[in-house]
Amino acid sequence: MLAQVSDVVDACAGQAECVTSYSDFLRSWLTVGIFVALGFVMAGAMLGIAMVLRPSSNRRGRFQEQKFITYESGVDPVGWSWTQTQVRYYIFALLFVLFDVEAVFIFPWATRLEIYDLFGLIEMLIFIAILALGLVYAVRKKVLQWL
Amino acid sequence: MGNDVNIGYLTLSAILFGVGAIGLLVRRNALVMLMCIELMLNAVNLTFVTFGSMLNDITGQVVVFFVLVVAAAEVVVGLGIIVAVARRRPGATADDLRVLRG
Amino acid sequence: MLAFVAPSIDYHAFAPELIVVAILAILVLVDCFTSDYDKSSQSSVAGFGLLLALIPVVTLAMDGTVRGMFGSPESGYAYVVDTYSLILKALFLVSGYVVVLLSQTYIAEGDYWEGEYYQLLLASILGMMVMASARDLVSIFVALELLSIPAYMLAAWRKRDLKSDEAGIKYYLMGVFASAVMLYGMSLIYGITGSTLLTEVAANLRQFPAGQVPPIVVLAVVFVLVGFGFKVSAVPFHTWAPDTYEGAPTPVTAFLAVASKAAGFVALMTLVFVAFPGNTSTIEPLMFALSAATMTVGNLIALRQTNIVRLLAYSGVAQAGYMLAPLAVYGVSGTVGLQAIIAYLLIYAAMNLGAFAVVITAARKTRSGEISSFGGLIQYAPSLAVLMCLFLFSLAGIPPLGGWFAKFAVFRALVGAETGWGYALAVLVGINSVIALFYYARVAKTMVMDPAPDGDLSPVRVPFSLRAALVITAMVTVAVGVLPGLVGHFTDSVTIGAALGS
């Protein structure tokens, strides 16, 4: 493959246009080819070396229990994976969802800020003021306080 | 782009809507029912966006904004009520809610 | 890229909504900066705000011009203030005020969050007012959610009470399911017609000649209308109503039964008359079936109720059936049907709110919702018993009272259509009115004939706010019955979108 490419380059040696367009094109694809090949070699080498080195779970009849627990390394999991979370997190989550989603109206306005001019600015200020009212309410009702 | 009928997207959204509706009627866990409602609303969003693109009309996408925000508000309220129920009756399914009947 | 032109806003037309928003903001701020133990200012501010918002409604009605916003004369407007929307806004504001009166002592004395209650109530009323003016699928959807979401919370308002939680969650799940179905129908309509503006939807739907309407159009129209069928508790989508009504705090039940149901009808009327005027072949059979099933099933189940709130719930279902009836002949009767529904809504609001007011007042002594607990009411609270009989017989449609005119308006629309379906429905309405008389009369009989269940004949103390609510509703109920021209004067002038080329 390399030989063929250099042949083409040689054949076009006399013609300036041909050399620049045709060989550049092929050369850029050659880079891609090398990358792909390297990728396969790397991946293959890593997997191959690992396969040689690692203790196998099912070959040669050696069964390893550790392979079937949630985390192979680290702390052994205890109990069931359905655990309870403090319910006070849910108010934060709810508030986050609400205020996060309201932002959906602010982004389109922000992208056309100049066109909407003063009218858009006032409208958005009113919108944000109403949202802020909700935030004031949340603060005053102590839902944003930790513990 | 394109005014051709994207029948694939419309079919998908119809299927999603059907799955959500059937799920809401069949499942008995309040949280799963909430998820089914989300599925239905997002199927609607997909329909709106598909039609908007077919008609070269921005309205379809604007509607999605409103549906998104309203869906968020609905879910927040729904979760609030579900938590209120769960505090009184842990593990209650929709079938356990039958104090009121007749 | 089109240059952006700021929409011109007619602040006079928007004034009622803006006032309610301002009062809402004030309520939130006051609630934030007052002690948890003194929220008594909330109810007065809320009631005052609702009455204040009534002023621009009156001035707009006196002005009389049809005002449209967010659109053009050619395409129609997305937000319209005309006689139709004004009369309904007045209905929402006044019934909202009566609900505030009903709630005042009930919420203050019970185990409830008081501050937020009035905020949510006002938010819901705001949604209804927007609904009355909305002429666009998107704004109808947003208005529907604005009026529904606070109502879900209010239904579950009773603290630490499983019944109330159950009421809330049932209402929530059914309501959200309905709005999802409705929204899917709206998306299909948008896809078919390429617009969300109701006038343009109507224009585009007219291109299908009668008899060749594609199935997708039928599906879309049915989905949208069925979504509102849940809201007005039409059979077979009524299952949430009795449970929610019984579990929710009683003033909230009154609100749901009157204002929320009226809002559902407003949306139905707007859609049917503005967006789908040409789809009679789809809508008329659907409405015929819904109306016939709703009034019959509602009345039959009401016969065997022992709880007064559940009885009123099923009677409300049946009344919704009467109100749906003119829609089954809307292609022929047109504006007459529209006026009949509006007249029915106005009168129904007065008499139903009145009945709930008596229930709330009597329950202050009896602490019970069972019909048997009303025994002997005539002995220890004769005025309450008389008022309850007044409201019940008005609901039944006995001539000198308001309910009679409501039924008459519906009959006139049905018979005036001169179609077989119209006559059939008129006969059904007649039969059902006779059935309904049985259970209304049974409550009256209990109050008058039966002895008090516990022999306690001490009088009921009626707080001022409840007394005011009772007087307002009773006056309207009687006045409309004696002078039917009163409501007729308002409703006969109602036309929808006439000046806007639809």
Of A49 and A10, more confident:
A49
Q: Which chains touch B (3 or more CB pairs under 8 A)?
A: A, C
C194: left (phi over 0), alpha (psi -120 to 50) or beta: left
Nearest beta carbon to residue C184 from set B44, B81, B97? B44
Contact call for A102 and B69, based on CB within 8 A: yes
Asked whether residue A3 carries a pLDDT value surpassing 60, the answer given is no
pLDDT band at B97 (very low <50, low <70, confident <90, very high): low
pLDDT score recorded for residue A67:
67
Residue B3 has pLDDT above 60, yes or no: no
Nearest-by-Cβ selection for B83 from A87, A101, A105: A87
Alpha-carbon gap, residue C53 to C117, rounded angstroms: 19
Q: Which of C119, C178, C199, C105 is nearest to C151 (CA)?
A: C119
* Lowest pLDDT segment from B15-29, C117-131, C196-210: C196-210
- Greatest mean pLDDT among A135-144, C51-60, C442-451 lies in C51-60
pLDDT of residue A18: 52
Number of Cβ within a 10 Å radius of residue C372:
13
Burial label for C219, CB within 10 Å (0-12, 13-18, 19+), is middle
Q: What is the DSSP letter of A88?
A: T
Inform me whether the pLDDT recorded for C60 exceeds 70. yes
DSSP 3-state assignment of C123?
helix
pLDDT at C490: 72
pLDDT beyond 70 at C195: yes
What was the pLDDT predicted at B102?
Answer: 53
Q: Which residues contact C426 (CB under 8 A, 6 or more apart)?
A: C325, C411, C414, C415
Question: Is C16's pLDDT higher than 50?
Answer: yes
pLDDT at C118: 92
Mean pLDDT of the region C75-93:
88
Q: Average pLDDT, stretch C466-487?
A: 85
How does the average pLDDT of chain A come out, rounded?
77
Of C166, C168, C310, the CB nearest to B102: C310
* CB contact (8 A) between residue C141 and residue B70: yes
Element (H, E) at C68: strand C67-72
Q: What distances in angstroms separate CA C44 from CA A19, C51, C89, C115, C155, one per listed residue?
A: 89, 11, 20, 11, 22
Provide the β-strand partners of residue C72: C76
Interchain contact, C190 vs B43, CB within 8 Å: no
Is there a cis peptide before residue C251, judged by omega within 30 degrees of 0?
A: no
CB contact under 8 A, C184 and B17: yes
pLDDT for the residue B2: 47
So what's the pLDDT on residue C495?
67
What does the alpha-carbon distance between residue C121 and residue C143 come to, in Å, rounded to a whole number?
Answer: 14
pLDDT band at A114; cut points 50, 70, 90 = confident
pLDDT exceeds cutoff 60 at C454: yes
* Residue C435 neighbours by CB distance under 10 Å: 17
All residues of chain A having their beta carbon less than 8 Å from the beta carbon of residue C25 are: 130, 133
Give the integer Cα–Cα distance in Å for C440 and C319: 13
Q: Give residue C498's pLDDT.
A: 42
> Which of C3, C4, C32 is the closest to A136 by Cβ?
C32
What gap in Å lies between CA C13 and CA C495, rounded to an integer? 18
Query: Of the candidates B68, B83, B87, which has its C-beta nearest A104's C-beta?
Result: B68
Of A94, A100, A101, the CB nearest to B79: A94
Residue A66 has pLDDT above 70, yes or no: no
Residue A74 has pLDDT above 60, yes or no: yes
- Under an 8 A CB cutoff, do A117 and C29 touch? no
Q: Give me the residue from A112, A119, A134 closest to C6, CB to CB.
A: A119
Chain B positions with Cβ closer than 8 Å to A:
65, 68-69, 72-73, 75-76, 79-80, 83, 87
pLDDT at position C127 is 95
Write down the pTM of the prediction.
Answer: 0.84
DSSP annotation string for chain B: ---S--HHHHHHHHHHHHHHHHHHHH---HHHHHHHHHHHHHHHHHHHHHHHHHTT-THHHHHHHHHHHHHHHHHHHHHHHHHHHHHHSTT--GGG--SS--
Q: What is the pLDDT of residue A44?
A: 94
* Nearest beta carbon to residue B76 from set A97, A105, A108: A97
Q: How far is A78 from chain B (nearest CA, A)?
A: 23
- Chain B residue with CA closest to C188: the answer is B47
pLDDT band of C39, cuts 50, 70, 90: confident
* Chain A nearest CA to C6, separation (Å): 7
The alpha carbon of residue A88 is apart from the nearest alpha carbon of chain C, in Å, by 18
pLDDT of C286 strictly over 50 = yes
**Dist. CA A26–CA A28, nearest whole Å:** 5
Q: How far is CA B90 from CA B87, B93, C137, C162, in A?
A: 6, 9, 40, 12
Chain B CA closest to residue C184:
B44
pLDDT of residue C502: 35
Residue A64's pLDDT is 66
CB C466 within 8 A of CB C418: no
Q: Is the pLDDT of residue B45 over 70?
A: yes
pLDDT reading at A62 higher than 80: no
Q: Locate the chain A residue with the closest alpha carbon to B78.
A: A94
- Percentage helix, strand, coil for chain A under 3-state DSSP, each rounded to 5: 70, 0, 30
> Strand C76-81 and strand C67-72: pairing?
antiparallel
Could you report the predicted ipTM of this complex, rounded to two decimals? Answer: 0.90
Residue B99's CB: how many other CB atoms inside 10 A? 15
Torsions phi, psi of C68, nearest 5?
Answer: -125, 145
- Listed by start position, the domains of chain C span 279-502
Cα(C105)–Cα(C364) distance, integer angstroms: 10
Contact yes or no for A104 and B83 at CB 8 A: no
Could C152 and B99 be called an inter-chain contact, meaning their C-beta atoms sit closer than 8 Å? no
CB proximity A97 to B under 8 Å: yes
Using CA coordinates, name the residue in chain C closest to B56: C194
Name the β-bridge partners of C80: C68
Chain B residue numbers with beta carbons less than 8 Å from the beta carbon of C160 are: 88
Nearest CA in chain C to B6: C191
Question: Does the structure show a pLDDT above 60 at C501?
Answer: no
Dump pLDDT digits (tens) for C365-420.
877 778 888 887 888 888 888 899 889 989 988 877 888 888 888 888 888 888 88
pLDDT tens-place string over residues C269-283: 999 888 888 788 888
Query: What pLDDT is stored for residue C382 in this prediction?
Result: 85
Mean pLDDT value of segment A63-91: 71
* Mutate: best of A104, A109, A127, A131, partner B, most B CBs <10 A: A104
Residues of C in contact with A133 (CB under 8 A): 25, 28-29
Q: Which of C165, C193, C224 would you mutate first to test chain B, the one with the most B CBs within 10 A?
A: C165
Asked whether the predicted pLDDT for residue B1 surpasses 50, the reply is no
Least confident of A69-78, B50-59, C361-370: A69-78
A136-145 contacts, C-beta under 8 A, 24 or more apart: A136/C28, A136/C29, A136/C32, A137/C28, A137/C31, A137/C32, A138/A95, A140/C32, A140/C33, A141/C32, A143/A91, A143/A95, A144/A92, A144/A95
**B74, B76, B45, B42: which is closest to B62 by C-alpha?**
B45
In which band, very low, low, confident or very high, does the pLDDT at C246 lie, cut at 50, 70 and 90? confident
Q: Is the pLDDT of residue C255 over 90?
A: yes
Q: Kindly list the residues from chain A whose CB atom is less than 8 angstroms away from the CB atom of residue C4.
A: 112, 115-117, 120
| C25 in A contact zone (CB under 8 Å) | yes
Residue A41 has pLDDT above 90, yes or no: yes
Number of CB pairs < 8 Å for B and C? 117
Contact C177 B82 (CB under 8 A): no
Sign of CA dihedral C254, C256, C257, C261: positive
Do A140 and C4 make contact, defined as CB atoms within 8 angstroms? no
Structure tokens at C34: 């007052």
Euclidean distance between CA atoms B45 and C145, whole angstroms = 16
Query: Which tokens go with C439?
Result: 């259970």
Percent of chain A clearing pLDDT 90 (strictly above): 16
| Cross-chain residue pair B68–A101, CB shorter than 8 Å | yes
Average pLDDT of chain C to the nearest whole number: 86
A89-140 folds as Methane Monooxygenase Hydroxylase; Chain G, domain 1 (1.20.58)
Grade residue B19 by pLDDT with cuts at 50, 70 and 90. very high
pLDDT: is C450 or C154 the higher one?
A: C154
pLDDT at A126 over 60: yes
| Interatomic CA distance for residues C176 and C47, integer angstroms | 29
A137 lies within 8 A of chain C by CB = yes
A27 to chain C, any CB pair closer than 8 A? The answer is no
Q: Who has greater pLDDT, B13 or C336?
A: B13
Interatomic CA distance for residues A133 and C28, integer angstroms: 8
CA dist., res. C502 & res. C497, Å (int): 6
* CATH ID of B7-95, from 1.10.287.3510, 2.170.130.10, 3.90.1300.10, 3.40.50.2000: 1.10.287.3510
- The two three-digit tokens of residue A126, written as one number: 């009113």
Chains in contact with C, where contact means 3 or more Cβ–Cβ distances below 8 Å, are: A, B
Q: Does A115 touch chain C (CB under 8 A)?
A: yes
* CATH 1.20.58.1610 in chain A, residue ranges: 89-140
Give dist(CA B79, CA C252) in Å, integer.
21
Residues A130 and B69: beta-carbon distance below 8 Å: no
Residue type, A138: A
Residue with tokens 């609904």: C131
Per-residue model confidence (pLDDT) at position C499: 36
Classify residue C300 as exposed, middle or buried by CB count within 10 Å of its CB (0-12, 13-18, 19+): middle
Give the minimum alpha-carbon distance from A81 to chain C in angstroms, rounded to a whole number: 28
CB contacts of A90 in chain B (<8 Å) are 79, 83
Residues of chain A contacting residue C6, judged by C-beta atoms under 8 Å apart = 116-117, 119-120
Comparing CB atoms, the residue among A115, A137, A141 nearest residue C4 is: A115
Q: What are phi and psi of B62, to 5 degrees?
A: -65, -40
> Is A112's Cβ below 8 Å from some Cβ in C?
yes
Query: Mean pLDDT lowest for which of A25-39, C263-277, C483-497?
Result: C483-497
Q: Indicate whether A4 pLDDT > 60.
A: no
Q: Is the pLDDT of residue C50 over 90?
A: yes
Q: Locate the chain A residue with the closest alpha carbon to C36.
A: A141
Does the beta-carbon distance from C25 to A140 stay under 8 Å? no
Res C307 pLDDT > 80: yes
Locate the domains of chain B by residue range.
7-95
